[in-house]
Amino acid sequence: MSNDNDDAAFAAGMKIRRDMFGPAGAEQRLAQATELNRPFEELVTRYCFGETWSRPGLDLKTRSLLTIAVLTALAKPNQLKVHVTGALANGATQEEIREAILHSVVYAGIPAGVEAFAAAGEVLAKIAASAQTAQ
């Protein structure tokens, strides 16, 4: 197995993670990895972000909205919170995030929508509160 730090896909994945989630979602996430989960964090960086998110054909905003839709369908609110933040960094609007969740609910079910809107609302409220505090 090649050294992950020298791997082009790993480097591309770190850039995307940094752009979407800031240092806490990139360097700090890897720095805090344990012996148990380090291989997983490296896999996520290389495969998920470096090889999949960096593919041509869809822009990052579209990929973010698709990810929100899938996480809604799977009822994964913790990951949805992370990806709402990433979607905003990738240029998605609150309206687009809402529409991705609403569209998903038709196919995934109301309970999934309840979880998704609660998670997205929590993130958006924190961002709004931070913006007001900064003023």
What's the average pLDDT block by block, 10 residues per block, for the chain (135 residues)?
Answer: 68 94 86 93 93 96 97 94 96 98 94 94 94 88
Map residue 5 onto helix, strand or coil.
Answer: helix
Domain boundaries defined on the chain:
1-55, 58-135
The per-residue pLDDT for 119 is: 95
The per-residue pLDDT for 4 is: 46
The yes/no answer on whether domain 58-135 falls in CATH 1.10.3720.10 is: no
Q: How far is 34 from 37, CA to CA, in rounded Å?
A: 5
Query: Distance between alpha carbon 8 and the CA centroid of its chain, in Å?
Result: 21
